[in-house]
Amino acid sequence: MLEKKEQYSLTTFLLGRKCVFCGSYLVCKTRRGYVKCNKCKRQKGLKMLRREMSILVGFHQQVPAHRLSMDLGVNFRTVERVFRKLRELVYHICELEGAKMSGEIEIDEAYFGGRRKGQRGRAVGHKSVVFGLLERDGRVYTVSADELTGIIRAKTRKGSVYFTDSFKSYNSLKRFGKHHRVNHTYTFGVRGKKYRSHINGIEGFWSFAKHGLYQYRGVSKSNFPLYLKEMEYRYNHRHENLLKSFVAIYFGYVST
Ligand SMILES: [Zn+2]
């Protein structure tokens, strides 16, 4: 459920007392029932505004589009459109965000999709294979298998310490920094610094993502990258007011 503060800031948007585009309170209502901002001069129908806002609340609570459209009595396509636009924006923000990773970085792969049990590992065509990079006490970044090496070069600083499991070769990692294959959790030292040898952090993200995606009850393979980036965003911003961020992202509102 929403916190009181969250509810309040939503209400100010919902009643058209605060501009959804620029955050200004200089709003007025036009004769046609539109909310108009005197600062950025943009306007929006109050009915549409309320509808989009309640769809954003549903998105925040991870309600699947078809169920939300029934709950709100809103056309499924409208809900889909809002969801899709927001997911695409979130995807781009994930790509833009953050500085290069450095220090201790965990790398691990995961398999998503595919209902059939029994087939495990990477010899399965209908599953999506993704890699995740996690900077300890920092962000996570997901990437498809064929892009991994390029991303390590682009998104991590040289001289980082990489932790992976011991199953895959990850041979190229040596070129970028120290590489440790993890078998058991233990502590070791490099040049007087102590390292915890594990990949618990990234494994925590995988279970977060799998749980999150399960809420949507099946994601098509073509849409999967969008959904995974959504999970990445939710994870990286889990300590923040996500609903507020989604409203800001959707309406292009830049808070100062
Ligand atoms: Zn405005």
pLDDT tens digits for 172-187? 788 888 888 876 555 5
- Residue 134 in any domain: the answer is yes
* Distance from the alpha carbon of residue 20 to the mean position of ligand 1, in angstroms: 7
pLDDT (average), residues 110-121: 66
- Residue 229 in any domain: the answer is no
- As a whole number of angstroms, the distance between CA 66 and CA 74 comes to 10
* Distance from the alpha carbon of residue 256 to the mean position of ligand 1, in angstroms: 13
Range of the domain at 126: 104-218
pLDDT of residue 256 exceeding 50:
no
Sequence letter at residue 34? Y
Checking DSSP bridges between strand 43-45 and strand 177-182, what pairing results, if any?
unpaired
Confirm if 117 and 168 have CB atoms less than 8 A apart: no
* Distance from the alpha carbon of residue 232 to the mean position of ligand 1, in angstroms: 30
* Distance from the alpha carbon of residue 178 to the mean position of ligand 1, in angstroms: 50
**C-alpha pair distances (Å), 164 with each of 109, 112, 167:** 9, 19, 9
* Distance from the alpha carbon of residue 40 to the mean position of ligand 1, in angstroms: 4
**Number of domains into which the chain is organized:** 2
* Distance from the alpha carbon of residue 214 to the mean position of ligand 1, in angstroms: 37
- Residue 228 in any domain: the answer is no
Provide the whole-model pTM: 0.85
- Residue 13 in any domain: the answer is yes
* Distance from the alpha carbon of residue 18 to the mean position of ligand 1, in angstroms: 8
* DSSP H helical ranges for 61-137: 65-72, 76-96
* Distance from the alpha carbon of residue 51 to the mean position of ligand 1, in angstroms: 19
**C-alpha pair distances (Å), 143 with each of 13, 109, 149, 154, 219:** 36, 9, 10, 12, 17
Asked if 47 and 118 sit in the same domain, the reply is no
* Distance from the alpha carbon of residue 69 to the mean position of ligand 1, in angstroms: 28
Asked if 90 and 118 sit in the same domain, the reply is no
Sequence letter at residue 201? G
- Residue 57 in any domain: the answer is yes
Asked if 118 and 206 sit in the same domain, the reply is yes
pLDDT of residue 191 exceeding 50:
yes
Token readout for 100 is: 């290069």
* pLDDT, position 76: 95
Asked if 42 and 87 sit in the same domain, the reply is yes
CB neighbour list of residue 204: distance below 8 Å, 6 or more residues apart: none
Asked if 108 and 206 sit in the same domain, the reply is yes
Sign of the Cα pseudo-torsion (108, 114, 117, 120, in order): negative
